[in-house]
Amino acid sequence: MKVLHVSTPMIWRGGEQQAAYLVHALKEMKVEVYVLTPINSALSTRLQEEGITVINFESRGVLDLSLAKKIAKVCMEQKFDLIHTHDSHAHSAAVLSAAVFSNNTPLVVSRRVDFAVSSNPFSRWKYNHSSIKKIVCVSEMILKITAPSIKDKTKLAVVHSGINTENYNITTERNLLKDELNLSQGALLVGNLSALADHKDFPTFLKVAKEVIDANPLVHFIIAGSGDEKSLIEKFIDEYKLSSRIHLLGFRKDVTKVMKSLDVFLITSKTEGLGTIVLEAFAAEIPVVATRAGGIPELVSDGVTGLLVEVGDVSGLTHAVQIVLADYELRMKLIKNAKIKVQEFSFQSTAQKTLSIYQEIIKS
């Protein structure tokens, strides 16, 4: 089997990590994988370093006919069995390659975002194009949100994203961040490792941080990530003079070590496809406080694998963080149950389920 994966972002976020996990696992399963991605994109650089076959293109915007033409050309030359797109722009280009350049390669579309398909004619057309054989949603919630826009519901499927749970089998120094930030050994760390994006709702995260910090002099908050919301976060920290208590780490490659340094993982997203960073916290044995956004409740069962609070509920989130920090028995219960839960979400399992979808399409 020979599959072309298409990913258009230049930066590295959760979707790119999932694409990388998938192509690596498929390669191990003897699938011949190629990845079409922009020149100098984060995904291109990483995959080439790791021995994955990459085809590059010049990124030129949303409705990129040159990319559609490129997809059609490489499909004609390489005789791919399938195309798998990993983002909206890739999806658009692949459908245009079929409609404009007569590319008849079957298409699989990944859908990761928890908002409805746009009502504009182009979006409706591209999601119902005959070249699409399967729309793979990363959670049951995403399928539910997407379904009203899809004429043929049999094309919808759910394959949860996964992580590399083996990363957390190694012994890691729990005091890494305390040493790095020159904090006392008695400090308590509450953190989030996510892109600094609007849907992560960092204003709520920061309001919770202020409430918890005001009540407990031992607590520090950690934000590890990069993105457009950085200036907003810095403004809040400056305004409330919290630079000694809220620490911006920037983008980190050592996610495993940073995660294992926390006492509580707090995610305050207002929308979320699934929230694989929650799985990282589970694997790291860090208790989770999260919002009921998107697919997160498919991972976090309230009071069992974490604590769930309504989106934007600063008071509820503050209380939940304080309870987890104060209640040792609750922490141990959440950690134990989450450790069991995360075993269902390995990236190898994600790849196996995806491969089954590929095989079903080719067989039919």
Q: Is the pLDDT assigned to residue 302 strictly greater than 80?
A: yes
pLDDT tens profile 335-357: 999 999 999 999 999 999 999 99
Which strand ranges, in their side-by-side order, compose the sheet holding 288-291?
A: 246-248, 219-224, 188-193, 264-267, 288-291, 307-309
Beta bridge partners of 193: 224
Assess whether 150 and 209 both reside in one domain.
no
- Counted domains in the chain: 2
User: Are 306 and 287 a contacting pair, CB within 8 Å?
Assistant: yes
In this prediction the pTM is 0.89
CA dihedral 97→102→105→106, nearest 10 degrees, is 80
How long is the chain? 364
Assess whether 127 and 248 both reside in one domain.
no
Assess whether 183 and 283 both reside in one domain.
yes
Residue 314: exposure state from Cβ atoms within 10 A (0-12, 13-18, ≥19): middle
The share of the chain scoring above pLDDT 70, in percent, equals 99
Assess whether 34 and 173 both reside in one domain.
no
Assess whether 192 and 224 both reside in one domain.
yes
What is the amino acid identity at position 183? L
3-state secondary structure of 161: coil
Q: If you average pLDDT over every residue of the chain, what do you get? A: 95
Assess whether 107 and 242 both reside in one domain.
no
Assess whether 174 and 250 both reside in one domain.
yes
CATH number reported for the structural domain that contains residue 113 in this entry: 3.40.50.2000
User: Are 215 and 322 a contacting pair, CB within 8 Å?
Assistant: yes
Assess whether 193 and 82 both reside in one domain.
no
Assess whether 308 and 352 both reside in one domain.
no
Assess whether 277 and 193 both reside in one domain.
yes
Assess whether 155 and 177 both reside in one domain.
no
Would you state the pLDDT for residue 259?
95
Q: How confident is the model at residue 59 (pLDDT cuts 50, 70, 90)?
A: confident
Beta bridge partners of 35: 5, 54
Nearest to 21 by CA among 357, 295, 359, 349: 349
Query: Which residues span the domain enclosing 45?
Result: 2-162+346-363
Residue written as token pair 């134990």? 336
Assess whether 136 and 63 both reside in one domain.
yes
Residue written as token pair 């040493």? 179
